[in-house]
Structure 1
């Protein structure tokens, strides 16, 4: 995840995650391959190798609900920790399958989409926290999803709704629209500000006092609401998947150049 800008060498070795600081790399291996006309084979090879590595080392199932999730490795030790950011992955896997990659990528996309939905559904506000930990022991808890006090905030992130958009466009399964509608209703109930706009909240587990932070990241307007709008449209030409990939890559380039979210 970290590179020394003087030496070009990696630092903090031994930490593997698809969450914060690493997620965009995996997402744009695939999207840049597609955007480049599928000519940069090294990108595709790296993406396929990464997916196999995820399946071998990071993929587990929770208890008691058997939710498929992507954890982390730190110096050889597995952690059942999954950032909300990882919910970009169902959409990316589905997009890859749409472009001819193995069919089991779509199966995994569906399973992870169910998990990302449950990360929202199992919270009292219906909104996912920034980070969850999954239960791996049948006798330990009746809940699959567990949240630490420091991780209970929701920043209005777009990853889940982006994946819902891709899954709906590629499967025509209306449950993904229904799940998006549930999310929008939760946003309206717990994050909408009466005077205008929406606010990040500090506690997704307290519907009586979700603790608004008086801060709305620009990605909520630029991505979260955009994907919800597209999700609820039945017009596949409203914004084609090819156009959407171009916009997504432009966003990544802007961020790399230091343009704020």
Structure 2
């Protein structure tokens, strides 16, 4: 909480922050702004810490305000559409808001659809939130962005030969000649709107997309999120399962058969399979209005004061 209180005092760019902070000065370092590696959990915890404590009487409304400002900044500075399919994605500002935009999106960014949906309804279904007149115009904008981004995250899987997503994808945007970001290198051409560079073609069994599918299914009750999750699960089963037991990361998801790495990250069991299990399970198991998941998929009970109980 002291760290979050400190973040509150630091200068930001429309609520967005650089991915580095100096342990000596306590000030942000550099200008690189992104929601991928090193940046993701900051935005996730602004809303989740507030939700986890919102009924306990804690004075943490500043976290919700910081979250809302940050999401406005995301929509204004980082969200773009690819061509020709119009996939909505979140890019990066490697040199800050005054520098050039990069159409690069880590798979890690796919946590955001679930976080946006959770921030909009606070864990109840959209239907209940609408019946209770709880959704603001900003909530509805964030829900729309959540659904659009979830579709893009699924497309990062569906577009490859194996049906599994790369670690990083680049998106075709206006002004790019179409030859790929590697100067027309034939090994790095666009597949529809998505370019996968050679060094980014590995899959580490990451959980972020299925995490968002789980949250969006709970909140929207749309069966397509289960259908997408099942396709992803079947691809994991087909290409990453090991005959002797366990699952493995892959070197290149664009070729069949993909070369296996003989390494299973712990988050596959701790997060990816957990979120897939919950996606297909009963909605009363770990309900999102009673629990909030930390960034490692551990469910924490939402605090309740005696007055609010």
In the other structure, the counterpart of 2:153 is 116
Measured after TM superposition, the shift of residue 189 of structure 1 is 0.7
Structure 2 segments unaligned to the other structure (5+ residues): 1-18, 123-134, 179-189, 301-309
Measured after TM superposition, the shift of residue 252 of structure 1 is 11
1:195 to 238, 244, 249: 244
Measured after TM superposition, the shift of residue 9 of structure 1 is 2.4
Measured after TM superposition, the shift of residue 10 of structure 1 is 2.1
Q: Is the 8 A contact 1:3 1:10 kept in 2?
A: yes
Measured after TM superposition, the shift of residue 2 of structure 1 is 1.3
Matches within 5 A, 1:105-144: 105-137=142-174, 140=178, 143-144=192-193
- Hey, what's the Cα distance between the residues in 1 that align with 2:280 and 2:83? 33
- Hey, what's the Cα distance between the residues in 1 that align with 2:94 and 2:191? 27
- Hey, what's the Cα distance between the residues in 2 that align with 1:80 and 1:222? 30
1:90 to 86, 91, 113: 113
Measured after TM superposition, the shift of residue 5 of structure 1 is 1.4
In the other structure, the counterpart of 2:132 is none
CA offsets per residue over residues 53-79 of structure 1, 9 Å max, x none? 111110100011000000001221100
TM-aligned CA distance change 1:188 to 1:98, over 3 Å: same
Does residue 237 (structure 1) correspond to residue 284 (structure 2)? The answer is yes
Measured after TM superposition, the shift of residue 244 of structure 1 is 4.2
Measured after TM superposition, the shift of residue 97 of structure 1 is 1.2
Measured after TM superposition, the shift of residue 247 of structure 1 is 5.1
CA offsets per residue over residues 14-41 of structure 1, 9 Å max, x none? 2110000000000111111100116411
Measured after TM superposition, the shift of residue 143 of structure 1 is 1.4
TM-score (norm 2): 0.77
- Hey, what's the Cα distance between the residues in 2 that align with 1:56 and 1:242? 29
Matches within 5 A, 1:31-180: 31-37=48-54, 39-75=59-95, 76-99=99-122, 100=135, 102-137=139-174, 140=178, 143-180=192-229
TM-aligned CA distance change 1:123 to 1:85, over 3 Å: same
TM-aligned CA distance change 1:5 to 1:92, over 3 Å: same
Q: Is the 8 A contact 1:156 1:224 kept in 2?
A: yes
TM-aligned CA distance change 1:73 to 1:94, over 3 Å: same
Does residue 2 (structure 1) correspond to residue 20 (structure 2)? The answer is yes
Paired residues, what number?
250
> Is the partner of 1:49 in helix, strand or coil?
helix
Q: Is the 8 A contact 1:64 1:142 kept in 2?
A: no
Bigger-Rg structure (1/2): 2
Q: Is the 8 A contact 1:86 1:159 kept in 2?
A: yes
- Hey, what's the Cα distance between the residues in 1 that align with 2:272 and 2:60? 30
RMSD, matched Cα: 1.9
Measured after TM superposition, the shift of residue 246 of structure 1 is 4.8
More helix by share: 1
TM-aligned CA distance change 1:250 to 1:178, over 3 Å: closer
